[in-house]
Amino acid sequence: MGTPDPVPEEPNSAWLSDQDLSDVRRRIPLLYVEAVPVRVDGLGVVTSVGVLLRANSQGSITRTLVSGRVMYGESLRDALFRHIEKDLGAMAFPLLPASPVPFMVAEYFPIPGLSAFVDERQHAVSLAYVVPVTGTLEPRQDALELTWMTPDEASSPAVHAEMEGGRGTLLRAALASVGVLS
């Protein structure tokens, strides 16, 4: 008896196995998109900001933003839409920006102190967007809930302290980019 033939991978698959992803994370930076979901009034002024509540890998409860990798061959617009739908539900109805220019490029390092952003798993580059959502939001995946806050509440030191990896800094930059940081 020989070894069984390996299962062929799907030819158009953009996903990596857990082992392949781990190997890649040790060698090259990965591209991510992050979204700060907001509600806006009739003039386009941000009235509330959505922040996710999650349990991290250590079991601590933290706050975070919509985030995820861009797959090979996937446009930034498609990646944003996919991650917003994955984290906030199919009825979120995001109003994606007409231009895929982010409000910020955040560089996450596995070593604290190299930037405001830390991800112990990898070196990653994240393109961050403020995205108005108009639908009903039902957090999915590993999100416990979505909390709507005023811009003042979202930019508070208390919320900043609950966010991991520098995402409190990213959230404040998002609010500044749309003119509602007090």
d(CA 124, CA 34): 12
Per-residue pLDDT of the chain (182 residues; tens, 9 = 90+): 454 444 444 444 567 788 887 788 788 899 999 999 999 999 999 999 999 999 887 888 999 999 999 999 999 999 999 999 999 999 999 999 888 899 999 999 999 999 999 999 899 999 999 999 999 999 887 788 999 999 999 999 999 999 999 999 999 999 999 999 87
State how far the alpha carbon of 75 is from the alpha carbons of 78, 96, 141, 145, 156, in Å: 5, 13, 22, 28, 33
State how far the alpha carbon of 21 is from the alpha carbons of 17, 73, 81, 109, 153, in Å: 6, 17, 22, 16, 36
Which superfamily does CATH assign the domain made up of 30-177 to? Nucleoside Triphosphate Pyrophosphohydrolase (3.90.79.10)
User: What tokens appear for 88 in the block?
Assistant: 């906030």
Domain ranges of the chain: 30-177
